[in-house]
Amino acid sequence: MGIDPSGRYLLAVSHSGRGVFDTSTWERVARDYSLAYPVNGIAIGIGPIDGQQILVAGVNLKKGTLDLESPRRDYSLSYEYGTITVRSE
């Protein structure tokens, strides 16, 4: 997962493609089923962030967790075993 520099969009990358979510509503706004894994921690955006290079973090496979903070630090995301929790700061 990675968040665009504006903090408005979350890019999720998985074995089933990429999805973009609007962080104001958490609705998915774009989906691409093509495999496009990150290279050196960078994934390419789709939809409203098409072509943008987004810094992404992967799941810690030993712990099954992932933590992200928005660029403005107004919210954070925690992933643990299939569940994402959003916290407002």
**Residue spans per domain, the chain:** 2-88
pLDDT at residue 69 in the model: 94
pLDDT at residue 81 in the model: 83
Look up the pTM and report it. Answer: 0.90
What Cα–Cα distance (Å) separates residue 77 from each residue in 9, 12, 32, 88? 13, 12, 22, 9
Summarize the confidence of residues 30-58 as an average pLDDT. Answer: 96
Structure tokens at 59: 């799941």
